[in-house]
């Protein structure tokens, strides 16, 4: 991959056998690294780690969500 445009073109060509296709939008914005999270995040969001590859697969679940 040489650029975000080339990556977007490759992702846009993806599809499934059932005919599902992808939509790719590149957001040209600045996202600073290590920005952190709000102080109340641990109280308002529950982190649920998956059994397979828990370091990479997890969900942040809002506190009022019962699933």
Query: What pLDDT is stored for residue 40 in this prediction?
Result: 85
CB atoms within 10 A of CB 61: 13
Give per-residue pLDDT as tens, 2-58: 788 899 999 999 999 999 999 998 888 887 888 888 888 878 888 889 998 888 888
In which band, very low, low, confident or very high, does the pLDDT at 1 lie, cut at 50, 70 and 90? low
- Give residue 14's pLDDT: 92
pLDDT at residue 64 in the model: 64
The H or E element spanning position 4 is: helix 4-12
Q: Minimal CA–CA distance to 65: which of 46, 51, 40, 49? A: 46
Q: Which residue has the higher pLDDT, 64 or 37?
A: 37
């Amino acid at each position: 991959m040489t650029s975000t445009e080339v990556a977007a073109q490759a992702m846009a060509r993806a599809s499934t056998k059932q005919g599902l296709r992808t939509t790719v939008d590149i957001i040209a914005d600045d996202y600073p690294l290590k920005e952190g999270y709000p102080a109340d995040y641990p109280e308002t969001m529950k982190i649920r780690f998956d059994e397979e590859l828990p370091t990479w697969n997890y969900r942040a679940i809002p506190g009022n969500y019962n699933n």
